Amino acid sequence: MPVLYKVFQSPLETKEKKKLFYPRVIYTGNVNTTQLANEIAAYSSLSPGDVKNTLDNLVTVMAQHLQASERVTLDGFGTFRMVMKSSGSGVELPEKVSAAQASLTVRFQPAYTKNPDRTTATRSLVTGAKCVRFDLADTPTSDGNNGGNPGGDDGETPDPGA
């Protein structure tokens, strides 16, 4: 299945007072741990229950390492790390800095590879992905309808440099 996208007009104006258009991914469903476990079990000799237990334990162990200020790298998948996002309330003296000034969140960086000539990096999870504009797509989505909520806003802002 291709990655579906819609046309999104940025609310921000350029220096020329134009509101430009960008592509934005639309989501047609959500896959949970149980569904993933069933699909992974089909590729292995493990039962769906064994796979689900392993995935549940992976989340628990990853949380322990992240909360110990360690990065977690899953080969071929990517790296997770804990970051502090400042709330914008800085202080004048270093001894006044506290964790209350920020919130914790987890960041994910997909694994990547470089071409043999070392020029272009390719993200492992997007290699081979095909994109199709939703309003021009002629195939139904995997959940049986034709695109879920194409008018829905996922809250992401466009990347003008992309």
Residue 54 lies in a domain: yes
Residue 61 lies in a domain: yes
Kindly report, residue by residue over 21-33, the tens digit of the pLDDT. 999 999 999 999 9
Residue 138 lies in a domain: no
Residue 51 lies in a domain: yes
Residue 66 lies in a domain: yes
- How many structural domains are present in the chain? 1
Residue 107 lies in a domain: no
Range of the domain at 63: 32-70
- Name the maximum alpha-carbon separation found in the chain: 61
Residue 38 lies in a domain: yes
pTM of the model: 0.68
Average pLDDT over residues 51-73: 96
Residue 21 lies in a domain: no
